[in-house]
Structure 1
Amino acid sequence: MDKATLLARIVAALETDMDVLRRAAQTAYEAALAEENIAENKYDTLGLEASYLATGQARRTAEIRQALVIYQQLLLRDYDPVRGIQISNLVTLEDETGARRHLFLGPEAAGLKVDGGDGWVTVITPRSPLGQQLMGKKVDDEVSLGTQALFVIEVV
Structure 2
Amino acid sequence: MHDLISAIVKKLQLELSTAVTASEQAHDSATHSENIAANKYDTLAVEAAYLAHGQSMRIAELKQSIALYQNFQRPTFNAHATIQTGALVCIEDDEGQQRRFLIGPAAGGLSIDGEQGLIQVVTPTAPLGQALMGKRVDDEVDWEINQRKESSIIVAIE
What TM-score results when the alignment is normalised by the length of structure 1?
A: 0.95
1:69 partnered with 2:71 = no
Instruction: Please state whether the residue corresponding to 2:119 is helix, strand or coil.
Output: strand
Aligned match of 1:31: 29
Q: Gaps spanning 5+ residues in structure 1: where?
A: none
- What are the Cα deviations for residues 44-89 of structure 1, in whole angstroms up to 9, with x where unaligned? 1111100000000110110010010000000122214555011111
Aligned to 1:150: 152
Corresponding position of 1:50: 48
Sequence identity percentage: 40
| Match of residue 132 from structure 1 | 130
Instruction: Give the 3-state SS of the residue equivalent to 2:23 in structure 1.
Output: helix
User: Does 111-120 or 18-27 show the bigger shift?
Assistant: 111-120
In 1: Cα distance, 2:132 partner to 2:150 partner: 15
Q: Which moved more, 1:117-126 or 1:20-29?
A: 117-126
- In 2, distance between residues paired with 1:32 and 1:7? 37
Q: What RMSD, in angstroms, separates the aligned Cα atoms of the two structures?
A: 1.1
* Structure 2 partner of 1:84: 82
The count of residues paired between Structure 1 and Structure 2 equals 154
Kindly provide the amino acid, as one letter, of the partner of residue 52 in structure 1.
Answer: Y
Q: Tell me which residue corresponds to 1:112.
A: 110
**Amino acid paired to 1:5:** D
Structure 2 CA distance, aligned partners of 1:129 and 1:81? 24
Q: Distance in 2 between matches of 1:16 and 1:61?
A: 11
| CA displacement at 1:148 relative to structure 2 | 2.2
Q: Is the 8 A contact 2:81 2:157 kept in 1?
A: no
- Tell me how far apart the structure 2 counterparts of residues 141 and 83 of structure 1 sit (CA, whole Å): 12
Q: Contact 1:133–1:143 (CA<8 Å) still a contact in 2?
A: yes
- 1:108-142 deviation line (CA, Å, top 9, x unaligned): 11111111122111101111111111111100001
After TM superposition, the score normalised by the length of structure 2 is 0.94
State the alpha-carbon separation in 2 of the partners of residues 41 and 119 from structure 1.
55
| Residues 117 and 81 of structure 1, relative CA distance in 2, 3 Å threshold | closer
Following superposition, the deviation at residue 145 of structure 1 comes to: 3.0
Separation of aligned partners in 2, 1:25 and 1:117: 34
Structure 2: runs of 5 or more not aligned: none
2:153 maps to amino acid: F
Task: Tell me the SS of whatever aligns to 2:86.
Answer: coil
